[in-house]
Amino acid sequence: MSWLGLEGKVAVVTGAAGGIGNAIAKAFSDAGAEVMLLDLDQAAVQDAADSIRARAFACDVTHPESIAATVEAIGSVDILVNNAAFLAPGNLDLTDIESWQKMLDVNLTGYLRCAQAFGAGMLARGSGALVHVGSISGSHQQAFSNAYSASKAGVSMLSRQLAYEWGPRGVRSNVVSPGLVRTPLSESFYADPKTKAARESVVPLRRIGRVEDIADAVLYFASDRAGYVTGQEVIVDGGYAQTLMNHVPRPGYAHD
């Protein structure tokens, strides 16, 4: 058994065809877990599963029937990683309620739906781990992004409530919140060397996060090594979220 002790554990990862989800799935597979990849994009999730010898399922987290069918096909699981989400631009003075609700439905309500569906077996068995992928945007508003920040703030509170209600029944719930991470969806931000350098300059560790950085934190929370950790959030951002006061001009205190 490895230090994490994930060998033989059944882990479900939603949004597994994307950059972070794919990295999380691969990390679980490398750790010896049986990995179930869920995504709305059937072709993409099958390709991802084939690359790591996992099982793929086309699943829409906004439809309870789709989730229920997937739960029935998979059976009992030990770990659920809620990762499915999307981001779209939108000014609040112009955002229509339909698009606002759609984002909440995927990014927040979808997490609850999956927690209820896959968590039922965990609660019956008296053990299990939920890990939710949040964002530093949940505590530091990301303007002009529709309901994204509101949805990610909700994820943090949902996880804490699940931790309190399900803790006595043996199920843990924690959040991993990424900062600036280089993924296929954000790759365009780094095409310009000046933009890339500007982004790196505001991160204390002076680099942009890798998807593997997020996966490492998720695996820890999912493992028995975090057996006494629940209701918590770890921010994986190279220290960026702690730099607020350093962006305020302070003559005589500046450092190169």
Handedness of CA 12, 68, 66, 116 (dihedral sign): negative
> Among this protein's residues, is 111 annotated catalytic?
no
Six token digits for residue 131: 């890990």
Q: Where are the alpha helices (DSSP H) in 147-238?
A: 148-166, 193-201, 211-222
Position 40, amino acid:
L
What is d(CA 120, CA 142) in angstroms, rounded to the nearest whole number? 34
- Pair of tokens at residue 136: 């530093």
- 76 is written with which tokens? 């009992």
Distances (CA, A) of 26 to 16, 32, 132, 150, 155: 10, 10, 17, 29, 24
Per annotation, catalytic residue among 111, 148, 240, 253: 148
Q: How far apart are CA 38 and CA 62, in angstroms?
A: 13
Would you please indicate which residues are annotated as catalytic (active-site) residues?
148
